[in-house]
Chain A
Amino acid sequence: MNHIIEVEDLRKSYGSVVAVADISFYVEAGGLFAFLGPNGAGKTTTINVICTFLKPDAGRVSVNGYLLGRDDNAIRKSIGVVFQDNLLDNLLTVEENLRCRGALYGLSGKALTEAVKRAMAEVEITDLAKRPYGKLSGGQRRRCDIARALVNTPEILFLDEPTTGLDPQTRKLVWEIIRKLQREAGVTVFLTTHYMEEAADADYVIVIDNGKIAAKGRPTDLRERYAKDKLSLVYSNPEAVLAGLSALNIPHTKLAGRIIIPIKNTLDALPLIERFRPNISGFEVMLGTMDDAFIGITGKELRQ
């Protein structure tokens, strides 16, 4: 597959604070690529550099075949960016906003009208065209932001925490729109998130922490590698179970009414269940989640 974004040894500091420390990665064309990390990990800085908004201190970045720092305008023409904040003009209507921003790409007349119409249709906001942007709900505004990013029919769509601050239902809707764009319109999507469930739904995930890449891979691979499956036993005779586990030297944690035992894979649960069957009243085998993988990778929970 063709690498539509390539980043080599990217470094960016603010004064003495290193935001991004020599990271390298690539993004395959047509995929949905997620940058996962806690707040302050360097996600936004990275995206701002790739979008030509920030100048890197060192490193080589190419986007859609154009070299950052040399062909910035060519890069700008081939990308669309959705920032964390809502950045359209509150007093202007959705359509006016999209026309104004579309014109920055040299679109005019019929081409501009068509582009605006298409962008609005893609995120299903055509019926909001005449309403002032500032009067819309958070979810509607977010969709307008995405429409603005689509107005120049970009090859790559960057989204910086597109679903942060939205209610669960709107989050789902926005996510579905992003997925649809990637699958049907063939847009490469590069997004940052601190939601596990979103990262789990991406094609490829890079976990970034303290400005460094902590892990990368497909979500299933990450889960397999870093998240442990668990067996939970609901005990009827706790002493017997605990004594048995200690005798076998099996690590375990005791919670209220149950004992959690980490296992390599789900099948490993069977002999344990057999063994303690007389002393338990039930059991549950739990697959590792992206949350577990994240904790496994960074050694900490997501700082929200």
Chain B
Amino acid sequence: MRAFLRRNLLVFFKDRAAVFFSLLSSLIILGLYILFLGNVIISDFEDKIPNAHEIMTNWIMAGLLAASTATTTLGGLGVMIGDKAKKIDRDLYVSPISRRKLALGYVLNAMIIGYILTFITFVFVEIYIVLSGGSLISLTKLLEVMALILLATVSNTAMVFFITSFFSSENAFATVSTVIGTLIGFLTGIYIPIGQLPESIQWIVRLFPPSYAAVLLRQALMADPMAAGMADLPAEYVEGFKEALGIVLKFGETEASKIFSIAVLLVSAAVFFLLAVLVLSRKKKE
């Protein structure tokens, strides 16, 4: 299985275009923020918060990282779709390695690729934050973010794996990738803060597991800048700020705790993996 995993990684990373385009979807969000979105969102808070720019940069970057764990994982699963489309799977099936191990090889491949590429994105993000006058992330926060990226990658791989288990053509997969890449930005409240969405869409955000990855990452990345710039503001204002930007998700009056968010990610990972296995084993064995 390890050898098969190594092969999948080799196939992915040798395809420079695949690597580039997997990164591109994340970098586009970064570019959009730098060029347009940033100024629009920041202008709302500029007069009240002295370091609004730094806080909002960290906000968008947290969302960016959360989305990235889904889009880069998709790129990794492209290896599996490619094998199906090119019929390479036949060559694998006549080898004495079980189908379960092959599937595991694909999933781990997607996770590793997702983690590596998201981490690369994170490096770009930090470079931008520092260049735009913010401070570099502290070591403890760095470790926390790295652990959160891992959690988000596992959870999103499961979800994306489930979705791709229905497809076997490269065209269908490319379309699905585009759709997921676009939707995820809206459904996790990255392009537009959750507070500005209509109530019905807010519920979709709350029910969409990847949102919790974004929430956790926002909490981790924004804690320090918010402590520095918002300490003097009334608690009520801070609460509203957190809610409007999706730093916390609220069900009625109850706030989703950190543990709850982590649990949502883990449980959804387990559920989606089970569903994917179900779909794959239900497919008629020829």
Contacts and interface: CB of A to CB of B under 8 A. Distances in A.
Could you say which of B3, B6, B11, B94 has the most chain A C-beta atoms within 10 Å of its C-beta?
B94
Interface string B5-33: 01100110011000000000000000000
B86 A87 contact: yes
A87 B88 contact: yes
B94 A52 contact: yes
Contacts, number: 65
Given A55-B286, A96-B10, A100-B6, A73 B96 contact: yes
A25 interface: no
B9 to A, nearest CB: 11
A83 B88 CA distance: 10
Given A53-B94, A92-B7, 18 more contacts: A51-B94, A52-B94, A54-B286, A55-B286, A73-B96, A79-B94, A81-B91, A85-B86, A89-B7, A89-B88, A91-B14, A92-B14, A96-B10, A103-B6, A104-B3, A104-B97, A105-B96, A108-B3
B4 interface: yes
B177 to A, nearest CB: 20
A100 B7 contact: yes
Could you say which of A73, A103, A104 has the most chain B C-beta atoms within 10 Å of its C-beta?
A104
A91 B90 CA distance: 19
Contacts of A106: 96
Interface residues of B, number: 21
Contacts of B14: 91-92
B96 A89 contact: no
A101 B93 CA distance: 11
A81 B94 contact: yes
A277 interface: no
A92 B94 CA distance: 20
B4 A92 contact: no
B31 to A, nearest CB: 28
A146 B10 CA distance: 22
Contacts of B88: 87-89
Contacts of A141: none
B11 A91 contact: yes
A87 B95 contact: no
Interface string A40-76: 0000000010011111000000000000000001101
A100 B94 contact: no
Contacts of A104: 3-4, 92, 95-97
B283 interface: no
B282 interface: no
Nearest to A89: B11
| A contact patch SS | loop
A252 interface: no
Nearest to B285: A55
Contacts of B96: 73-74, 76-77, 104-106
Interface in B265-286: 285-286
Contacts of B3: 100, 103-104, 108
A100 B6 CA distance: 8
A79 B93 CA distance: 12
B87 interface: yes
Given A83-B87, A103-B3, A91 B15 contact: yes
Contacts of B15: 91
Interface string B239-277: 000000000000000000000000000000000000000
B285 A87 contact: no
Interface in B14-72: 14-15
A131 to B, nearest CB: 13
A95 B165 CA distance: 31
Contact of B94 (A74, A76, A103): A76
Contacts of B7: 89, 92, 100, 103
Interface of A: 48, 51-55, 73-74, 76-77, 79, 81, 83, 85, 87-89, 91-92, 96, 100-101, 103-106, 108, 148
A1 B90 CA distance: 32
A55 B95 CA distance: 16
Contacts of A108: 3
B4 A103 contact: yes
A291 B285 CA distance: 38
Nearest to A148: B91
A215 to B, nearest CB: 29
A92 B11 contact: yes
B55 to A, nearest CB: 43
A44 to B, nearest CB: 11
B91 A101 contact: yes
Contacts of B87: 83, 85, 87
Nearest to A80: B94
Contacts of A55: 285-286
A53 B90 contact: yes
11 contacts: A53-B93, A79-B94, A87-B86, A87-B90, A87-B91, A89-B10, A89-B88, A100-B10, A101-B95, A104-B92, A105-B96
B113 to A, nearest CB: 15
A93 B256 CA distance: 51
Nearest to B97: A104
B104 to A, nearest CB: 14
Nearest to B82: A89
B140 to A, nearest CB: 40
A53 to B, nearest CB: 6
Nearest to B98: A73
A101 B15 CA distance: 19
